[in-house]
Amino acid sequence: MTRFFKTKQEAGEVDFKNLPRHIAIIMDGNGRWAKKRAMPRNAGHAAGAETFRKVATYCKDIGIDYLTVYAFSTENWKRPPEEVSAIMGLLEKYLYEAIDRMERDRVKMKFFGDTGPLSPKLKALIERTSDISSHYDGCQVNICLNYGGRDEILRAAKSCAENYARGDTEAFTETAFSKQLWTEDIPDPDLIIRPGGEKRLSNFLLWQAAYSELYFTETLWPDFSKDEINRAIAWFQQRNRRFGGI
């Protein structure tokens, strides 16, 4: 079910005492945003990176415990090399800036995905942010980088099979399986937001999304704002979440 609010007044009707604990976002529409403005796709990714910064800050400020964003999928390597390079460069720039602010702003940062193919510089920055994050509690921002839901499930299944072979008869329970996922320490997303008009998960958090509420909007990611987040949260708060019950 998708609902679009018509006014900014409706967008502001959020119960800030009853927020979703975990919001996940598929950041989609950067390329189309740039094309509409006769700009190169890389300009769209730069605008999208700035939107991510603003949205993450807003989610922290209103009290969201976890924000997970889809930054780069296992399939995104198929894009032109210059576009992939630009995306990785923007991420490096963001992490350099984030390291200076993380402890001041009390924002933890974790990365989900296979970091093996990434550059040594980017892997070092990821390790540094992870080390800083281990020192305190705060809003946790999860960045899915070289991430794919199917890949994550396959890796978890292999780990469970290895544990079973070693004699762990409980290796294939739902709880044990969940502990083998990159998201092992955090709750499943309550709300998944996809800007850009597409209505699919695109290999994002396939296991974790079993009972997530899915919110789709035509707004392209670089145009996303706190009003858009409020619309999604207000919509979420109207949902009756039964988790298979009555």
pLDDT digits (tens, 9 = 90+) for 125-182: 999 988 888 877 888 999 999 999 999 999 999 999 999 999 999 999 999 999 999 9
**Residue 215 — left, alpha, or beta (φ > 0 → left; ψ -120 to 50 → alpha)?**
beta
pTM over 0.85: yes
CATH number of the structural domain spanning residue 43: 3.40.1180.10
User: Does 1 fall in a domain?
Assistant: no
163 in any annotated domain: no
Positive or negative, the CA dihedral 145, 26, 151, 180 is: positive
Residue 25 in domain: yes
Which residue range is the domain that position 67 belongs to?
A: 19-148+188-236
Respond yes or no: is residue 28 known to be catalytic.
yes
Known active-site residue 76: yes
Report d(CA 76, CA 78) in Å as an integer. Answer: 5
Q: Is residue 14 part of a domain?
A: no
The answer to whether residue 71 is domain-embedded is yes
- Catalytically annotated residue among 65, 76, 223, 227: 76
Write the pLDDT tens digit of every residue in 37-86: 999 999 999 999 999 999 999 999 999 999 999 999 999 999 999 999 99
Which of 28, 30, 42, 203 is catalytic? The answer is: 28
Residue whose C-alpha is closest to residue 223's, from 50, 87, 75: 50
> Do the strands 22-26 and 139-147 form a parallel or antiparallel pair, or are they unpaired?
unpaired
> What pLDDT does 107 receive?
81
Residue 30 located in a structural domain: yes
Q: Count the domains in the chain.
A: 1
* Secondary structure E strands in 74-136: 107-112
Sheet of 213-216: strand order equals 107-112, 139-147, 66-73, 22-26, 191-194, 213-216
The span from the CA of 189 to the CA of 136, in Å, is: 22
* 175 occurs within a structural domain: no
